[in-house]
A and B are shown apart, each in its own frame.
Chain A
């Protein structure tokens, strides 16, 4: 072998794969929600796949070998962190890739920088409280403004990985931020007349969405998170709804719509299935459409059930100068 061919071979070995990496940043995410944000921030230079399809319960996924094979090809593994996805360690180990292990550069936890709600106090952690999360409520993607924080983390990770397209990622992030802000403002305004409307939720999935769009939770169908309700608890739910004049039961796609419907019917209301993430229902196929779908579903239910807009309180007028 001449020196020249050796050099060429070396070049082929080292330079080619590198250029391939630059051509396409391969990203695998745990959820379709994160995949969509990656798609929006990464644009054409990123190829992204999600482990979950969408309708399933994020807490109960069993990663399969084919999903491990999928993850093996990734340069970045983007997940929700905390303890929402207890199956992630197994998935990562199964992929047998050093750069994706916890603490490695390719392992990106988007929960960083998020202000969590429902953080348990110390000494309060027992399963007597149901299947609670130790760091706080993990469904933070359901506040669209948290999407901006997530996009920031994702943009940073992409910029580190593919420095050649850093400016493009930054510009995409900017545009995403702008879209989300405008959408949030618009949806908040649409929901404004209903601020303070009492609702019942099935699982403890919705505090971020509720707080952003001004709904008040008065009861949960599950007696404790992750515990299926018995007849006694359901009748308590109905009683609370009657007292507070609530007519809507919000339920995730993977929980029993039957139970939710049962409770709602007894007070002349109805169950509203909301998407807990992108892909949970067919209509919620992007991060923006996730919120548009959910808010439209709520507004449609308000109208159908003849729920009167709540009178805006003095406090509301002060905070919302745009409202008459």
Chain B
């Protein structure tokens, strides 16, 4: 009954104005009227069909409410008048289904937990390489390398803390009397808890982590912009860089310009690990202290600059008779083409290192100064292609192995190609000249690297430059 009525009303509403319009021009003939009627009949038919479709849709929308939703008493209070809005229909052909849940926040769907539910976000990285050298005697430079296989676990521990575990299996190449020896090393690269929202804009990390000295030391092997780690970083902190056990706190320094100024202080064990050239072993007097100050700012819309200064102090013996200070400066400039930010970019980065440490002399500890630096420029000329050149120079703070005055420099052009975001090929040529124990020599090395990642989509921090 109701439907007939509303249809009738529709016909009147539609027909009347039409009649008026027709009437204004000239008297309608019977044919006109019949035609008009026919048109109206068709229109009513289509409207009726549309109405049926709409009714079906409303029934569908109502169904889940009847079947599974909580009873009205259990529902949380909705603000007056809100419900009327979401169900009003748009004029287009499909009906969007806006949420009627006004009791935000809803569970987050971004990032963590893609399909893993409460499992941690897991990403595995695989990094292998091969090298060929004019120095044929050095077998380490003339072989395939399984550089590293790494598994990252990351998850929130609570609303205010995240957990990170990074396990790595890699080959370690050592020298023996008979040549080289390969050890397969399984180690915890990083494992820490990070309280990311403490009062006063502080964060606190505790566990084992890569120490905040400059820029390159933060990077895992698979994240390096070149195949090899800068020679200075290797000479000052060891082949893998410095990662120690302890605690680290970071503070966003309030400033009137509202710029990003971060002060990080690490208090860690003075044990630099077996391969550390400067720091002591497990018997060194704890702790070592590290401070890093970082400034970041945008230059215009498409560039940014970061400046940093680092300082590390550690005692290197059990009786505190010897110690080491390392100073560092870093600068990074990045540009992205504003028109095609994904396929054209430029990166310039440099770090300087200066160490003052005690080494064993004939009559007790002797103060030793050493300097190291690297600088590279990298240009992205296609979406998946990056090319660059790195220049290295370093002296050796660990002068018990290398004589004072030993040094090396290198020049390394390289090119990276990303087949996909998860698979990268890289070639690097390195010309290296060195002076060790008064002997001058040089070598040319060719490196090839293949890196892939599987598992959860790894998010790149801004300081990981592809």
List chain A positions with a Cβ less than 8 A from chain B: 53, 55-57, 60, 62-66, 68-69, 79, 81-83, 85-90, 93, 96-98, 101-105, 107-109, 111-115, 125, 127, 130-131, 134-135, 143-146, 148-149, 152-153, 156-157, 159-160, 170, 173-174, 177, 180-182, 184-185, 188, 211-212, 226-228, 253-256, 318-319, 321
Contact = CB atoms under 8 A, between A and B. Distances in A.
Contacts of B107: 103
B67 interface: no
Interface in B190-221: 196-197, 201, 203
Contacts of B99: 112-113, 149, 152-153
B105 A181 contact: no
A64 B298 contact: yes
B458 to A, nearest CB: 8
A188 B110 contact: no
Interface string B426-438: 0000000000000
A56 B342 contact: yes
B85 A173 contact: yes
A56 B339 CA distance: 8
B296 A83 contact: no
Given A65-B262, A228-B384, 12 more contacts: A66-B296, A69-B259, A83-B111, A86-B459, A104-B105, A107-B105, A130-B420, A145-B95, A146-B96, A159-B79, A321-B43, A321-B50
B109 A212 contact: no
A33 to B, nearest CB: 16
Interface string B105-133: 11111111011000000000000000000
A256 B104 contact: no
B462 A63 contact: yes
B150 to A, nearest CB: 18
B21 interface: no
Contacts of A127: 420, 422, 454
A108 B109 contact: no
Interface residues of B, number: 73
21 contacts: A60-B342, A62-B461, A62-B462, A64-B296, A64-B462, A65-B260, A66-B297, A66-B298, A86-B111, A89-B112, A96-B203, A101-B159, A102-B156, A145-B96, A146-B96, A149-B99, A184-B90, A228-B384, A228-B419, A321-B46, A321-B47
A69 B112 CA distance: 23
A255 B343 CA distance: 8
A87 B110 CA distance: 9
Contacts of A174: 85
Contacts of A160: 102, 104
B68 interface: no
Contacts of B42: 321
B269 to A, nearest CB: 26
Given A66-B296, A66-B298, A127-B422, A96 B462 contact: no
Contacts of B197: 96-98, 101
Contact of B94 (A108, A113, A145): A145
Contacts of A53: 301, 338, 341
A90 B459 contact: yes
A74 to B, nearest CB: 14
Nearest to B296: A65
Contact of B104 (A88, A108, A145): A108
Contacts of B97: 113, 115, 149
A112 B90 contact: no
Given A64-B296, A69-B258, A159-B79, A226 B421 contact: yes
Nearest to A184: B92
The 4 closest A-B pairs by CB, nearest first: A113-B99, A102-B108, A65-B260, A321-B46
A246 to B, nearest CB: 23
B263 interface: no
Given A256-B383, A318-B46, A181 B90 contact: yes
A277 B76 CA distance: 35
A234 to B, nearest CB: 16
Nearest to A120: B115
A97 B202 CA distance: 10
A319 B104 CA distance: 37
B457 interface: yes
A62 B460 contact: yes
A135 B338 CA distance: 30
A107 B99 CA distance: 16
B34 to A, nearest CB: 19
B420 A254 contact: no
A64 B464 CA distance: 11
Contacts of A228: 383-384, 419-420
Contacts of A89: 110-112, 459
B4 interface: no
Given A56-B341, A64-B304, A88 B109 contact: no
A142 to B, nearest CB: 13
B101 interface: yes
Contact of A156 (B82, B108, B342): B82
A69 to B, nearest CB: 5
A247 to B, nearest CB: 25
A184 B89 CA distance: 13
A158 to B, nearest CB: 11
B19 interface: no
